[in-house]
Amino acid sequence: MSVSPASITALRDAMCKRGPRKGLLLAAAPKSDTLAFAAWQAAVLEVNPFKASVGALLFMSDEQMLVYRDVQAMWAALPPQKQAVLRYGLDKDARALHDLGVF
């Protein structure tokens, strides 16, 4: 599986870079005209689908859709155990929902 460097950069930009949440997904989506927005939408759809915006998918540019598909492919390539750990660990709200028994 080959992932474009733009997709990797976009995924990094969709994560907190410092502070106590370093390495977690941003709590809110980045600006909608950025590639980080597409990466955030793809990641959050896997981690916490309650935050994802289906309408945002309709208005993504072609370049954003390529990043979105790359991030989805990266997720699908992970083993199921790693996916479970990331689902619990990447989003603070998803962790709270999991602890409450919603997921």
Only one residue has tokens 């962790």, namely: 95
* pLDDT tens track for 34-75: 999 999 999 999 888 888 888 998 999 999 999 999 999 999
The separation between the first and the last C-alpha atoms of the chain, rounded to the nearest angstrom, is: 30
Task: Give me the number of domains the chain comprises.
Answer: 1
Instruction: Quote the domain boundaries for residue 11.
Output: 5-100
- CA 66 to CA 97: how far, in whole Å? 30
pTM equals: 0.86
SS3 label, residue 3: coil
* pLDDT tens track for 2-44: 888 999 999 999 999 999 888 888 989 999 999 999 999 999 9
